[in-house]
Amino acid sequence: MFTAIATLLASATFIVCVTIALVVLMTILLEYGKEGWTTTLFSVGIALWLWNFGGVIWAYASVNPTATLGFVVSYVVAGIIWSVLKWSSSVKEVFNEAKKIKDKFNLPDDVKTDDNIWKEFIEN
């Protein structure tokens, strides 16, 4: 029984399917603001890959340092772009919410307030 489970966990098809599922699930959790679960699933995915392909990954990284550096730089740049896009969408959302609240409290121009009376006094 244990060997069957170990064989399943070590199969490349299983690892690729689990990786795809983890990426989709992490994206969904990240969108809902569940950073803790996203980090946990990311750690599980990295552990799964290192458990099965750790030697191959290390051999490739040590033989091809330029490709490894390119991957790391690409990963960091993609993270920065993702962060800026998420930040700008949150800022837009906050500004839109503030505008809705402000519009709710705006009065029509024909209603007399201290500001309207002061404007009329200055104009006349």
One DSSP character per residue, the chain reads -HHHHHHHHH-HHHHHHHHHHHHHHHHHHHHTT-HHHHHHHHHHHHHHHHHHHHHHHHHHHHH-HHHHHHHHHHHHHHHHHHHHHHHHHHHHHHHHHHHHHHHHHPPPTTS--HHHHHHHHHH-
Count how many domains the chain has.
2
Query: Does residue 37 sit in the same domain as residue 2?
Result: yes
Query: Does residue 31 sit in the same domain as residue 73?
Result: no
Q: Is the pLDDT of residue 119 over 70?
A: no
Query: Does residue 69 sit in the same domain as residue 51?
Result: no
Query: Does residue 69 sit in the same domain as residue 45?
Result: no
Q: What number is the average pLDDT over the span 16-34? A: 87
Span 70-91, pLDDT tens digits:
999 999 999 999 899 989 998 9
Query: Does residue 28 sit in the same domain as residue 70?
Result: no
Query: Does residue 16 sit in the same domain as residue 38?
Result: yes
Query: Does residue 80 sit in the same domain as residue 94?
Result: yes
Domain limits for position 21: 1-63
